[in-house]
Structure 1
């Protein structure tokens, strides 16, 4: 049974980003120096719920432009993006819309879990961070990175650090003056003291990756 709960999303807004960066600057000299040079990143907000997870599946391993085109065709095919519609539609129709058979398998599996009540896309905001990660990664096609990105941008969780993200690893290595990018474990250890502002720190690292002075 699907939840009738409508999530109230907590967005990490610009005020919180600035507040977090000021706090991080007090405890991390490299953040303070880089923040003074490039300023604060803009907030990022993504949709919540079942349709957001279908979009994540569609966007895996394809360009943003290709994902947008496929998503548009899938939305036109399904109408309302619900678990019932995903289960009902023929695999071949989704394939012709641009989804690979592996992604169709992931989408159908997610829809089955939603209908069975073993996954509740709309109710994730009621769970702890650890419970959200456990719930999402139980689905085929979703790893820890996908769960952490959803937590940051769709649920607005404030202390998330997606250490498996390549750009974050590269940016952290540059920020800290390392000879090579850290491993995910090394990255988590390096920024442990950023709690409870690790989401803001992550946003800043993406910002730094794109705009760091050479």
Structure 2
């Protein structure tokens, strides 16, 4: 895996602000590069990724691409239940993907406007779609739109990594994750990327 050099400066800045980050960063180094497509294709990928492992999500996405060729609203709506099932999408995720396609085609979701919107407006716009919650919005902001100050606080791996990093007695809640990462501003995206890296590197379970 290739280290993401774009995270070096923000993680060095975070290391000066947080001694726990500084120690873990020395042990784990830079996270690997990772990105996500923007637009409809990226959002469908994020819906697929909900509550499954990264490996499972990649496998499902690969099978879906085999079914449709290209992930567009039109192609998703043309795929029948059997095709969706063969790709590995659960019934709720089938509904969410089709609902997203309908919202985009009807103009209720205007994904092309998102890069010019502030973070909170992006969340308000996306969260209208069924199956898209705050976690998906924040992951989209972080990976697809490359926003620098986002913390997907409901992510269980991030919560476990924060528990381990800070030596907490239990897994922090979403509210506590926002509080614990408050002093990481304006580099919370780098902090979140590092927590995922730390989770895998430290073998936290």
What TM-score results when the alignment is normalised by the length of structure 2? 0.87
Q: 1 CA distance for matches of 2:187 and 2:196?
A: 15
What is the total number of aligned residue pairs between the two structures? Answer: 202
Residue 27 of structure 2: aligned partner = 37
- Do the aligned residues in 1 keep the contact of 2:142 with 2:148 (CA within 8 Å)? yes
Task: Name which of 146, 153, 157 aligns with 1:156.
Answer: 146
Gaps of 5+ in 1: 1-12
Task: Name which of 71, 76, 80 aligns with 1:81.
Answer: 71
- Do the aligned residues in 1 keep the contact of 2:5 with 2:30 (CA within 8 Å)? no
User: Do residues 116 (structure 1) and 106 (structure 2) align?
Assistant: yes
The 1:116/1:59 distance shift into structure 2, 3 A limit, reads same
Q: Which has the higher contact order (CA 8 A, sep 6+)?
A: 1
What TM-score results when the alignment is normalised by the length of structure 1? 0.84
Residue 190 of structure 1: aligned partner = 180
1:16-35 equivalence runs, <5 A? 16-35=6-25
Gaps of 5+ in 2: none
- Do the aligned residues in 1 keep the contact of 2:114 with 2:122 (CA within 8 Å)? yes
The structure that has the greater radius of gyration is: 1
TM superposition shift of 1:65: 4.5
Q: 1 CA distance for matches of 2:203 and 2:101?
A: 45
TM superposition shift of 1:96: 4.1
Residue 158 of structure 2: aligned partner = 168
Residue 126 of structure 1: aligned partner = 116
Task: Name which of 4, 13, 17 aligns with 1:14.
Answer: 4
TM superposition shift of 1:143: 1.1
- Do the aligned residues in 1 keep the contact of 2:158 with 2:192 (CA within 8 Å)? yes
Q: 1 CA distance for matches of 2:195 and 2:129?
A: 28
Q: 2 CA distance for matches of 1:110 and 1:84?
A: 11
Q: 2 CA distance for matches of 1:203 and 1:147?
A: 16
The 1:179/1:50 distance shift into structure 2, 3 A limit, reads same
The 1:72/1:174 distance shift into structure 2, 3 A limit, reads closer
